[in-house]
Structure 1
Amino acid sequence: MAHQTFYIDIDEEITSIIERLKKARAREIIVVVPKRALLIQSIINLRILKKEADEMGIQLMVVTQDKLGKILIEKAGILVQQKMDDLSGEEITLGKNSSESNENRRETKAETTEINEI
């Protein structure tokens, strides 16, 4: 199995998402997150998710159309895409090379986008 996709609810708690990661059969997980979901409203939740995934040896990618959420996801060091369509028709590689090229994109975006943390 190349990857697994989880669709989370708008009000799903971080603990529930982590439990789903623990039960995952694949080492590459795509988490589809709706706009204004609880998970992507907090950089702390996202950093916890990243830490837990790293400790489990899981490569994580989040798909969301939430613009603020995408910025926070990137700040937490998690790969992010706007749509599942961006992934279809091509092999999904969440390994080191993909992370490095995504890191370069994040750095470029970070130079053009500023966020005042609350």
Structure 2
Amino acid sequence: MSTSPVPPPRPAAGPPRTATVPVEGELDHESCGELLRAVAAHLAARPRVDVVRVDCGDMSLCDSTGLSALLQVRRDVDAAGRRLLLDRRPAHLERLLRLTGTADYLLTDRPD
């Protein structure tokens, strides 16, 4: 998995500031910490990031530890009052979310 650096500051006016964290390869025990650290860095960024996007397009596998990390990302983003979007979800991730009953929790936009 690789992560993108914290985006540069933008002016206060305009569209919401978005940070994208790409997930490449397997999201498992070995790579989950990297995802959690990248999201935490974006949530701590100044100026504030309004939307955290996790780009799952290049994810080749998500095991139970990876699912746990995604659930933790959801909790962290919600606690920070931000939006989470899981973009470009591969079929195997969609299936995992459906089978585990976590799709509604992870994919539903939280009210502002």
Per the normalisation by structure 1, the TM-score is 0.53
* Separation in 1, partners of 2:24, 2:51: 20
CA distance in 1, matches of 2:82, 2:50: 5
Change in 2 beyond 3 A, CA 1:71/1:52:
farther
Aligned-pair CA distance for 1:78: 1.5
Alignment RMSD (CA, Å): 2.8
Q: What code does the residue aligned with 2:19 have? A: Q
- State which of 93, 96, 111 in structure 2 corresponds to 1:72: 96
Unaligned runs of 5+ in 1: 81-93, 98-118
Q: Could you tell me how far apart the structure 1 residues matched to 2:97 and 2:70 are? A: 6
- In structure 2, the residue matched to 1:102 is none
1:16 to 1:57, Cα distance in 2 relative to 1, 3 A:
farther
**Superposition pairs of residues 1-118 of structure 1, within 5 angstroms:** 2=16, 3-11=18-26, 13-24=31-42, 25=45, 26-33=49-56, 34-37=58-61, 40-42=62-64, 43-73=67-97, 75-76=102-103, 77-79=105-107, 96=111
Q: What's the TM-score, normalizing by structure 2?
A: 0.55
* Aligned length, in residue pairs: 82
Identify which of structures 1 and 2 has the higher relative contact order when contacts are C-alpha pairs closer than 8 Å and 6+ apart: 2
Q: How far apart are the structure 2 equivalents of 1:31 and 1:23?
A: 13
CA–CA distance in 1 between the matches of 2:68 and 2:93? Answer: 12
CA contact (8 A) 2:19 2:53 kept: yes
Runs ≥4 in structure 1, deviation > 3 angstroms? 71-74
| Residue type at the aligned position of 1:79 | L
Q: Normalized per residue, which structure has more strand?
A: 2
Between the aligned residues of both structures, percent identity stands at 12
Distance 1:14 1:55, change over 3 A: farther
Q: Which shifted more, 16-25 or 56-65?
A: 56-65
Give 1 or 2: higher helix fraction.
Answer: 1
Tell me by how many angstroms 1:11 deviates: 3.4
